[in-house]
């Protein structure tokens, strides 16, 4: 009997099962993987595009789905106007298309069931945190896990229909009408309200966001060794 290789380093051709518009700039892609293997929430896949002339571009995208979704993964991609790979996904990739991926990768920025866990995301930095939240809801709903999510405005909220009591939002540019919650950047007050016990903290976003959130957690007395960070891009 032939045994298919499931080593994460192997490139494989995934088929796009569905495309969902999350916000005007963000789409989620559900992919069917011929060599699927379970990931840990927080891990990412590499995606590789090849042009007809052989030119290749490769980028990393976090898995947004729970590993309980066997055989498939969800990637959520923010469209950067002057980008190479993210506009291709937004403007070209459709249901039924095939894309080359390999993974899952990363052993550091992963949630292994730590309790309590505090998740802090800025913009598309919420993607790997959503995998943690989704997986915890389905596998260990009794565990203490809170998401603090910073977005510019209401139309930028990714996974809006899935955010419940375990999520605290803050709007940095424009809050929706009648909003009674926090506005502006994440500050010490937001962190203090979200802290429960001594959490393992996961911070994901731009460099500037990760730096600022890490400083706030340290100032609030969190242990440096309990803070795990993932940086998506060069700008703040
Ligand atoms: C481990 C890891 C996981 C990631 N997961 C996700 C994810 O789940 N969803 C997602 O949308 N992105 C994610 N990213 C970012 C992603 O890999 C790409 O960097 C991003 O999509 C831009 O690629 P591009 O080819 O479109 O733009 P590029 O052609 O690489 O860059 C275009 C311009 O945008 C700037 N830029 C590049 N990346 C960013 C960024 N993230 N934010 C702001 N400006 C940037 C560049 O400096 C350049 O000026 C992740 C990155 C890492 C390292």
For the chain, helix (H) and strand (E) counts, in that order, are 4, 12
For residue 10, list its beta bridge partners: none
What pLDDT does 221 receive?
A: 94
CA of 69 to the centre of ligand 1 (A): 25
Q: Which residues line ligand 1 (CB under 6 A)?
A: 44, 59-62, 76-78, 80, 82-86, 124, 127, 206, 230, 232-235
Q: Whose CA is nearest to atom 31 of ligand 1?
A: 83
Euclidean distance between CA atoms 18 and 216, whole angstroms: 38
Residue 137's SS3 state is: helix
Instruction: Indicate the top mutation candidate among 233, 234, 235, 236 to test ligand 1's pocket, ranked by most ligand atoms within 8 A of CB.
Output: 233
- In this predicted structure, what is the pLDDT of residue 214? 98
Backbone angles phi, psi at 156, to 5 degrees: -95, 5
Atom of ligand 1 nearest to the CA of 128: 8
pLDDT for 19: 98
Q: In this predicted structure, what is the pLDDT of residue 26?
A: 98
Find the distance separating the first CA and the last CA of the chain, reported in whole Å.
52
Mean pLDDT by 10 residues, the chain (236 residues): 61 97 98 96 97 96 98 98 96 97 94 96 98 96 96 97 94 94 95 90 97 97 96 73
Q: How far is the CA of 46 from the centre of ligand 1 (A)?
A: 12
Using alpha carbons, select from 40, 25, 118 the residue that is nearest to residue 79.
Answer: 25
Residue with tokens 């969902």: 20
* 139 CA from centroid of ligand 1 (Å): 30
Say how many Å lie between the CA of residue 92 and the centre of ligand 1. 18
Pairing mode, strands 182-183 and 167-174: parallel
pLDDT of residue 9: 76
Give distance in angstroms: CA of 151 to centre of ligand 1.
Answer: 17
Q: Whose CA is nearest to atom 29 of ligand 1?
A: 83
Residue 234 confidence (pLDDT)? 67
């Amino acid at each position: 009997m032939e045994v298919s290789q499931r080593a994460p380093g192997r490139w494989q051709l995934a088929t796009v099962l569905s495309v969902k518009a999350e916000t005007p700039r963000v789409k989620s892609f559900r992919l069917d993987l011929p060599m699927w293997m379970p990931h840990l929430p927080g891990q990412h896949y590499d995606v590789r595009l090849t042009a007809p002339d052989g030119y290749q571009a490769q980028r990393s995208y976090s898995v947004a789905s729970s590993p309980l979704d066997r055989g498939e993964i969800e990637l959520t991609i923010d469209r950067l106007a002057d980008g190479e790979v993210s506009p291709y996904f937004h403007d070209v990739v459709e249901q039924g298309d095939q894309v080359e991926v390999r993974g899952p990768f990363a052993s550091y920025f992963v949630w292994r069931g730590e309790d309590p866990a505090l998740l802090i995301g800025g913009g598309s930095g919420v993607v790997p945190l959503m995998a943690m939240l989704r997986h915890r809801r389905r596998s260990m709903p009794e565990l203490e896990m809170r998401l603090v999510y910073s977005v510019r405005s209401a139309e930028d909220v990714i996974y809006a229909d899935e955010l419940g009591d375990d999520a605290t939002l803050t709007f940095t540019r424009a809050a929706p009408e009648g909003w009674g919650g926090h506005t502006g950047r994440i500050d010490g007050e937001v962190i203090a309200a979200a802290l429960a016990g001594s959490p393992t903290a996961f911070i994901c976003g731009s460099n500037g966001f990760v730096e600022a959130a890490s400083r706030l957690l340290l100032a609030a007395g969190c242990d440096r060794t309990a803070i795990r960070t993932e940086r998506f891009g060069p700008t703040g």
